[in-house]
Structure 1
């Protein structure tokens, strides 16, 4: 992510230039820095946190301090995703290791 030197807003790529979304200030892309960025066109599925119904949670971290409302099991796989603004805590998505029931927890 690159921020504008003029106003501090986030910049986006436009051809060979980085352009400010607010004030329009632009600077040439720095090829050395651009390799460190991950853009949505080069992300693979390994960069995405799965929260869909058919997501494969197996192999994810587990939490032993939760209780499944469906079967009462106390172990679940989980993933964490920032669903609100940056100043809010992230949301944890759980999947029961026994019955597969899914739920979320807002901190």
Structure 2
């Protein structure tokens, strides 16, 4: 990803040039610099997080919440993890202390 030196907007590639759609600024592409850039190509979406090997006591604090398995309000352990991009909210992982059922919640 490249940002415009003139206006700061994100630029796109056109052949051997970086072009800014906002102000029209152009500059030559640098192959060595681009090779060092991190891309999203080939990354898998929705990668699962395996919590099965985590001891229940290590999962985190408890809160009262309705367990989808028990269908009752129970004491559940929760943990929050950033598993998506940094500009998205954290995912909350829950484990029912009664039946051991595990689930997660994401903000949409």
The alignment's TM-score, normalised by the length of structure 1, stands at 0.61
Cα contact 1:94–1:102 (8 A) shared by 2: yes
Q: CA deviation at 1:9?
A: 1.5
Tell me: CA distance 1:67–1:21, structure 2 relative to 1, closer, same or farther (3 Å): farther
The change in CA–CA distance for 1:39 and 1:16 in structure 2 (over 3 A counts) is: farther
Find the aligned partners of 2:34 and 2:85 in 1 and give their Cα distance: 25
In terms of fraction of residues, the more strand-rich structure is: 2
Which whole-Å CA distance do the structure 2 matches of 1:65 and 1:104 have between them?
18
Tell me if structure 1 keeps the 8 A contact 2:80–2:90: no
The gaps in structure 2 that reach 5 residues or longer are 68-73
Larger Rg: 2
Structure-2 change in CA distance of 1:66 and 1:81 (3 Å): farther
Paired with 2:103 and 2:43, the residues of 1 have a C-alpha distance of: 27
Q: Does 1:22 align with 2:14?
A: no
State the superposition RMSD in angstroms: 3.2
Is 2:62–2:75's contact at 8 Å kept on the other side of the alignment?
Answer: no
Write out the 4+ residue segments of structure 1 that deviate beyond 4 Å after TM superposition.
none
TM-fit CA distance, 1:39: 3.1
> TM-score, normalized by length of structure 2?
0.60
User: Relative to 1, partners in 2 of residues 1:21 and 1:7: Cα closer, same or farther, differing over 3 Å?
Assistant: same
Shift of 1:14: 2.2
